[in-house]
Chains A and B, each alone.
Chain A
Amino acid sequence: AQSVTQLGSHVSVSEGALVLLRCNYSSSVPPYLFWYVQYPNQGLQLLLKYTTGATLVKGINGFEAEFKKSETSFHLTKPSAHMSDAAEYFCAVSSTGTASKLTFGTGTRLQVTL
């Protein structure tokens, strides 16, 4: 069984500040981990993914995430927030990659203020 916990349903940062969105997972097998972004009334867009190899993964729009097995975490960061980053962010886990269903967290809404 797999599960994802996203700490903080709402996060507010100032423009130019560090963005940190937290994700912890539970998986009985080595996980594949994903971050998706969702803008209002839109589908989900893949930001980045961890499958194997390098534990620090870089994604689109300046986001990156680090897989920490010992902490069962996959936190999403961005050094400097932009107004266009305001959206809902979902962490997801899969146990067998492309062919497997994803289990999503409940999401974190990121607000960016001036």
Chain B
Amino acid sequence: DTGVSQDPRHKITKRGQNVTFRCDPISEHNRLYWYRQTLGQGPEFLTYFQNEAQLEKSRLLSDRFSAERPKGSFSTLEIQRTEQGDSAMYLCASSSPDRTNYGYTFGSGTRLTVV
């Protein structure tokens, strides 16, 4: 169990640029989640995958945001035409299909700064 890995840890980008983040979940976890955390707030749900299927999307996920999990393993989150309001920590989490193992394992996050 190597944990949930996120890359990069930090990203600084100019407004209007596109960015892509990667998340590698725990290998046996079939569920993968993306959350966004702004300063002084708790994480907010963005989207959720079970295997390669994207099963739920928050209305926070505007049309500039897209997430994929093409082979049911790693996932990417892309933000197009970034805005200053996109500056946040983007957290990925995964969970086990074992119903007795409630609760996610979070990665360390990708901190995005839009300048």
Cα-based distance from A9 to B40 in the complex (angstroms): 9
* Chain B residues, CB < 8 A from A49: 102-103
* Chain B residues, CB < 8 A from A92: 42
A42 in contact with B108 given A51-B102, A97-B99, A99-B50 (CB within 8 Å): yes
Q: Are A98 and B106 in contact (CB under 8 A)?
A: no
Interface centre among A4, A43, A90 (most CB of B within 10 A): A43
Number of interface residues of A (CB under 8 A): 26
Contact with A along B85-111 (1 / 0, CB 8 A): 000000101011111011111111101
Min CB gap B55→A, angstroms: 8
- Beta-carbon contacts under 8 Å, A18-61 to B: 32, 34, 36, 41-46, 49, 51
A44 in contact with B43 given A49-B102, A97-B102 (CB within 8 Å): yes
- Is B33's beta carbon under 8 Å from chain A? yes
* Chain B residues, CB < 8 A from A106: 40-42
A43 in contact with B91 given A98-B96, A101-B33 (CB within 8 Å): yes
* Chain B residues, CB < 8 A from A105: 42
Contact with A along B29-70 (1 / 0, CB 8 A): 001010000001111110010100000101000000000000
Cα-based distance from A45 to B105 in the complex (angstroms): 7
Min CB gap B100→A, angstroms: 8
- Is B4's beta carbon under 8 Å from chain A? yes
Q: Which residue of B lies closest to A9 (CB)?
A: B40
Min CB gap A28→B, angstroms: 17
Q: Which residues of A contact B (CB under 8 A)?
A: 4, 9, 32, 34, 36, 41-46, 49, 51, 90, 92, 94, 97-99, 101-107
A-B contact pairs, 30 of them (CB 8 A): A9-B40, A36-B106, A41-B111, A42-B108, A42-B109, A43-B6, A43-B91, A43-B107, A44-B43, A44-B93, A45-B106, A46-B104, A49-B102, A51-B102, A90-B43, A98-B31, A98-B96, A98-B101, A98-B102, A98-B103, A99-B48, A99-B95, A101-B48, A101-B58, A102-B43, A104-B42, A106-B40, A106-B42, A107-B40, A107-B41
